[in-house]
Copies of this chain bind each other. A is one copy, B any other.
Protein backbone atom coordinates (compact mmCIF):
# COMPACT_ATOMS: atom_id res chain seq x y z
CA UNK A 1 0.00 0.00 0.00
CA UNK A 2 2.04 2.94 -1.28
CA UNK A 3 0.50 6.16 -0.11
CA UNK A 4 0.90 9.19 -2.30
CA UNK A 5 0.79 12.47 -0.47
CA UNK A 6 0.16 15.67 -2.34
CA UNK A 7 3.50 17.47 -2.39
CA UNK A 8 1.76 20.78 -1.81
CA UNK A 9 2.16 20.91 1.95
CA UNK A 10 4.57 22.79 4.09
CA UNK A 11 7.24 20.78 5.82
CA UNK A 12 5.62 20.79 9.21
CA UNK A 13 2.35 19.44 7.90
CA UNK A 14 4.20 16.81 5.90
CA UNK A 15 6.06 15.51 8.93
CA UNK A 16 2.82 15.50 10.87
CA UNK A 17 1.10 13.58 8.13
CA UNK A 18 3.92 11.07 8.16
CA UNK A 19 3.76 10.47 11.90
CA UNK A 20 0.01 10.21 11.56
CA UNK A 21 0.39 7.59 8.84
CA UNK A 22 2.61 5.58 11.11
CA UNK A 23 0.23 5.73 14.06
CA UNK A 24 -2.65 4.86 11.75
CA UNK A 25 -0.66 1.89 10.57
CA UNK A 26 -0.26 0.77 14.17
CA UNK A 27 -3.96 1.21 14.85
CA UNK A 28 -5.13 -0.39 11.62
CA UNK A 29 -3.01 -3.46 12.17
CA UNK A 30 -4.22 -3.73 15.73
CA UNK A 31 -0.73 -3.72 17.14
CA UNK A 32 -0.56 -3.77 20.91
CA UNK A 33 2.10 -2.32 23.21
CA UNK A 34 5.13 -4.56 22.94
CA UNK A 35 4.35 -5.73 19.40
CA UNK A 36 7.02 -5.40 16.74
CA UNK A 37 6.68 -2.72 14.10
CA UNK A 38 7.79 -2.95 10.48
CA UNK A 39 11.46 -2.27 9.87
CA UNK A 40 12.77 1.02 8.54
CA UNK A 41 13.09 -0.51 5.06
CA UNK A 42 9.50 -1.73 5.07
CA UNK A 43 8.17 1.57 6.32
CA UNK A 44 10.22 3.47 3.73
CA UNK A 45 8.65 1.35 1.02
CA UNK A 46 5.12 1.55 2.42
CA UNK A 47 5.14 5.24 3.14
CA UNK A 48 7.19 6.25 0.14
CA UNK A 49 9.72 8.44 1.94
CA UNK A 50 13.47 8.41 2.35
CA UNK A 51 15.22 7.00 5.34
CA UNK A 52 16.13 10.33 6.94
CA UNK A 53 12.58 11.63 6.69
CA UNK A 54 11.20 8.41 8.06
CA UNK A 55 13.69 8.33 10.91
CA UNK A 56 12.83 11.90 11.90
CA UNK A 57 9.18 10.94 12.10
CA UNK A 58 9.98 7.83 14.09
CA UNK A 59 12.16 9.76 16.50
CA UNK A 60 9.23 12.06 17.08
CA UNK A 61 7.01 9.11 17.87
CA UNK A 62 9.68 7.79 20.19
CA UNK A 63 9.77 11.10 22.02
CA UNK A 64 5.99 11.07 22.23
CA UNK A 65 6.12 7.65 23.83
CA UNK A 66 4.39 5.91 20.94
CA UNK A 67 7.20 3.64 19.79
CA UNK A 68 10.18 2.10 21.51
CA UNK A 69 13.40 1.52 19.56
CA UNK A 70 15.84 -1.23 20.44
CA UNK A 71 19.17 -0.75 18.74
CA UNK A 72 20.12 -3.72 16.60
CA UNK A 73 16.81 -5.43 17.11
CA UNK A 74 13.84 -3.47 15.91
CA UNK A 75 11.05 -1.05 16.73
CA UNK A 76 8.10 -1.83 18.96
CA UNK A 77 4.89 -0.22 20.10
CA UNK A 78 5.66 1.38 23.46
CA UNK A 79 3.88 0.90 26.73
CA UNK A 80 1.84 3.81 27.96
CA UNK A 81 3.89 6.64 29.39
CA UNK A 82 3.85 10.38 29.60
CA UNK A 83 7.48 10.94 28.72
CA UNK A 84 6.45 13.62 26.27
CA UNK A 85 4.58 15.67 28.84
CA UNK A 86 7.35 15.31 31.36
CA UNK A 87 10.07 16.50 29.01
CA UNK A 88 7.98 19.34 27.73
CA UNK A 89 6.89 20.57 31.14
CA UNK A 90 10.37 20.23 32.59
CA UNK A 91 11.81 22.46 29.93
CA UNK A 92 9.05 25.02 30.34
CA UNK A 93 9.49 25.00 34.07
CA UNK A 94 13.22 25.49 33.92
CA UNK A 95 12.79 28.23 31.37
CA UNK A 96 10.26 30.14 33.40
CA UNK A 97 12.42 29.87 36.51
CA UNK A 98 15.15 31.87 34.82
CA UNK A 99 12.74 34.70 34.32
CA UNK A 100 9.72 34.84 36.55
CA UNK A 101 8.84 31.42 37.74
CA UNK A 102 5.08 31.77 37.82
CA UNK A 103 4.73 28.51 35.94
CA UNK A 104 5.96 26.62 38.96
CA UNK A 105 3.04 28.10 40.86
CA UNK A 106 0.67 27.00 38.15
CA UNK A 107 2.04 23.51 38.49
CA UNK A 108 1.41 23.51 42.22
CA UNK A 109 -2.11 24.83 41.68
CA UNK A 110 -2.96 21.99 39.33
CA UNK A 111 -1.46 19.41 41.67
CA UNK A 112 -3.45 20.86 44.54
CA UNK A 113 -6.69 20.71 42.59
CA UNK A 114 -6.07 17.13 41.54
CA UNK A 115 -4.92 15.78 44.87
CA UNK A 116 -7.27 17.70 47.14
CA UNK A 117 -10.14 17.08 44.73
CA UNK A 118 -9.59 13.35 44.40
CA UNK A 119 -8.33 12.32 47.81
CA UNK A 120 -11.88 11.74 48.98
CA UNK A 121 -12.65 9.35 46.14
CA UNK A 122 -9.32 7.63 46.66
CA UNK A 123 -10.10 7.12 50.34
CA UNK A 124 -13.35 5.42 49.41
CA UNK A 125 -11.39 2.79 47.52
CA UNK A 126 -8.42 2.46 49.81
CA UNK A 127 -7.52 -0.93 51.30
CA UNK A 128 -5.72 -2.07 54.41
CA UNK A 129 -2.76 -2.93 52.23
CA UNK A 130 -2.53 0.63 50.97
CA UNK A 131 -2.83 2.00 54.47
CA UNK A 132 0.03 -0.20 55.63
CA UNK A 133 2.21 0.98 52.76
CA UNK A 134 1.32 4.58 53.47
CA UNK A 135 2.27 4.26 57.11
CA UNK A 136 5.55 2.62 56.14
CA UNK A 137 6.49 5.66 54.03
CA UNK A 138 5.53 7.97 56.88
CA UNK A 139 7.73 6.01 59.27
CA UNK A 140 10.52 6.26 56.72
CA UNK A 141 10.10 10.01 56.56
CA UNK A 142 10.16 10.38 60.31
CA UNK A 143 13.29 8.28 60.61
CA UNK A 144 15.11 10.11 57.80
CA UNK A 145 14.03 13.46 59.18
CA UNK A 146 15.41 12.56 62.60
CA UNK A 147 18.72 11.65 60.96
CA UNK A 148 18.76 14.91 59.05
CA UNK A 149 18.40 13.30 55.65
CA UNK A 150 15.98 14.43 52.98
CA UNK A 151 13.35 11.96 51.82
CA UNK A 152 12.42 12.75 48.27
CA UNK A 153 11.61 9.16 47.39
CA UNK A 154 9.47 8.56 50.44
CA UNK A 155 7.56 11.76 49.73
CA UNK A 156 6.87 10.72 46.19
CA UNK A 157 5.89 7.22 47.23
CA UNK A 158 3.43 8.58 49.76
CA UNK A 159 1.57 10.57 47.14
CA UNK A 160 1.77 7.73 44.63
CA UNK A 161 0.31 5.18 47.03
CA UNK A 162 -2.36 7.59 48.19
CA UNK A 163 -3.95 7.69 44.73
CA UNK A 164 -3.20 4.15 43.64
CA UNK A 165 -6.62 2.91 44.82
CA UNK A 166 -8.26 5.00 42.11
CA UNK A 167 -6.66 2.69 39.56
CA UNK A 168 -6.39 5.54 37.09
CA UNK A 169 -3.22 5.23 35.03
CA UNK A 170 -3.59 8.65 33.48
CA UNK A 171 -3.96 10.31 36.85
CA UNK A 172 -1.04 8.40 38.32
CA UNK A 173 1.13 9.32 35.37
CA UNK A 174 0.08 12.96 35.52
CA UNK A 175 0.81 13.22 39.22
CA UNK A 176 4.12 11.45 38.72
CA UNK A 177 5.07 13.85 35.96
CA UNK A 178 4.11 16.86 38.03
CA UNK A 179 6.15 15.51 40.89
CA UNK A 180 9.22 14.97 38.74
CA UNK A 181 8.93 18.35 37.11
CA UNK A 182 8.44 20.05 40.43
CA UNK A 183 11.44 18.24 41.89
CA UNK A 184 13.60 19.22 38.93
CA UNK A 185 12.53 22.82 39.26
CA UNK A 186 12.96 22.73 42.99
CA UNK A 187 16.43 21.25 42.81
CA UNK A 188 17.57 23.98 40.47
CA UNK A 189 16.66 26.71 42.93
CA UNK A 190 18.10 25.61 46.23
CA UNK A 191 18.10 22.98 48.94
CA UNK A 192 17.44 25.44 51.72
CA UNK A 193 14.55 23.34 52.92
CA UNK A 194 16.89 20.58 54.04
CA UNK A 195 17.16 21.92 57.55
CA UNK A 196 16.28 19.38 60.18
CA UNK A 197 13.42 21.48 61.46
CA UNK A 198 11.83 21.73 58.04
CA UNK A 199 12.24 18.02 57.45
CA UNK A 200 10.53 17.22 60.71
CA UNK A 201 7.71 19.56 59.85
CA UNK A 202 7.19 17.94 56.46
CA UNK A 203 7.24 14.48 57.99
CA UNK A 204 4.74 15.57 60.61
CA UNK A 205 2.34 16.99 58.04
CA UNK A 206 2.42 13.67 56.22
CA UNK A 207 1.75 11.88 59.52
CA UNK A 208 -1.28 14.08 60.09
CA UNK A 209 -2.53 13.42 56.60
CA UNK A 210 -2.08 9.69 57.04
CA UNK A 211 -4.06 9.71 60.26
CA UNK A 212 -6.87 11.60 58.56
CA UNK A 213 -6.90 9.09 55.71
CA UNK A 214 -6.84 6.18 58.12
CA UNK A 215 -9.76 7.56 60.10
CA UNK A 216 -11.72 8.20 56.91
CA UNK A 217 -12.09 11.92 57.52
CA UNK A 218 -12.28 13.08 53.93
CA UNK A 219 -12.77 16.81 54.50
CA UNK A 220 -9.83 16.90 56.92
CA UNK A 221 -7.61 15.00 54.49
CA UNK A 222 -8.54 17.34 51.69
CA UNK A 223 -7.81 20.44 53.71
CA UNK A 224 -4.54 19.02 55.02
CA UNK A 225 -3.46 18.35 51.45
CA UNK A 226 -4.41 21.89 50.50
CA UNK A 227 -2.32 23.22 53.39
CA UNK A 228 0.57 21.06 52.30
CA UNK A 229 0.54 22.71 48.89
CA UNK A 230 0.14 26.14 50.40
CA UNK A 231 3.40 25.48 52.17
CA UNK A 232 5.08 24.50 48.93
CA UNK A 233 3.80 27.68 47.34
CA UNK A 234 5.34 29.60 50.20
CA UNK A 235 8.75 28.13 49.46
CA UNK A 236 8.45 29.20 45.85
CA UNK A 237 7.48 32.70 46.92
CA UNK A 238 10.55 32.86 49.15
CA UNK A 239 12.69 31.98 46.17
CA UNK A 240 11.10 34.49 43.85
CA UNK A 241 11.32 37.30 46.38
CA UNK A 242 14.06 36.32 48.85
CA UNK A 243 14.54 39.93 49.97
CA UNK A 244 10.91 40.43 50.92
A residues at B contact (CB < 8 Å)? 10-12, 15, 19, 23, 26-27, 30, 32, 52, 55-57, 59-60, 62-66, 69, 71, 80, 82, 84-85, 87-89, 91-92, 94-95, 98-99, 103, 106-107, 109-110, 113-114, 116-118, 121, 166, 168-171, 174
- Copies of this chain, complex-wide, total 2
Closest to A72 in B: B11
**Interface SS, A side:** helix
Known: A52-B52, A85-B84. Contact between A171 and B59, CB under 8 A?
Answer: no
- Residue of chain B at shortest CB distance from A97: B27
Given contacts A92-B80, A95-B26, A116-B117, contact A110 B64 (CB under 8 A): no
Which of B69, B87, B91, B168 touches A109 (beta carbons < 8 Å)? B168
Q: List B contacts of A26 (CB < 8 A).
A: 95
CB-CB under 8 A from A170, the residues of chain B are 89, 103, 106-107, 109-110
Instruction: Verify B64–A91 contact, CB threshold 8 A.
Output: yes
Contacts of A30 in B (CB 8 A): 98
